[in-house]
Amino acid sequence: MLGLSFDGAAADLFSIPEYRAVPVNNELPAAVLALTEPLSVALRAVIRLEQSIPAQARVIVSGPGPIGLMAALLLNQRGHRVTLLGAARDEEHRLPLARLLGLETIQAEDVTPAGLHGWLEASGAAQALSSAVANIGPGGTIVVAGLFPSIPAVDVNVLARNEIQLIGSYGSVALDYRNALAALEAAPDMWASLVTTFPLTEGTRALQAAADAEAVKVVLLP
Region 48-64: mean pLDDT is: 96
How far is C-alpha 124 from the geometric centre of its chain's CA atoms?
A: 11
Q: What's the distance, Cα to Cα, between the start and end of the chain in Å? A: 21
Q: What's residue 13's pLDDT? A: 84
Bridge partner list, 61: 84, 120
Residue 181 or 1, more confident: 181
- Model confidence at 8, in pLDDT bands (50, 70, 90)? confident
pTM value is: 0.93
- Model confidence at 4, in pLDDT bands (50, 70, 90)? confident
Bridge partner list, 211: none
Domains belonging to the chain, first-starting first, are 36-168 (3.40.50.720)
Pick from 162, 83, 148: nearest CA to 119? 83
| Residue-by-residue DSSP string for 19-56 | GG-----TTS-HHHHTTHHHHHHHHHHHHHHHTSS-TT
Pick from 20, 36, 41: nearest CA to 181? 36
Q: What are phi and psi of 102, to 5 degrees?
A: 95, 10
> pLDDT tens-digit profile of 109-160?
888 888 899 999 999 999 999 999 999 999 999 999 989 999 999 999 999 9
- Residue 221 CB: number of other CB atoms within 10 A? 13
Q: What's residue 111's pLDDT? A: 87
- Model confidence at 190, in pLDDT bands (50, 70, 90)? very high
- Model confidence at 169, in pLDDT bands (50, 70, 90)? very high
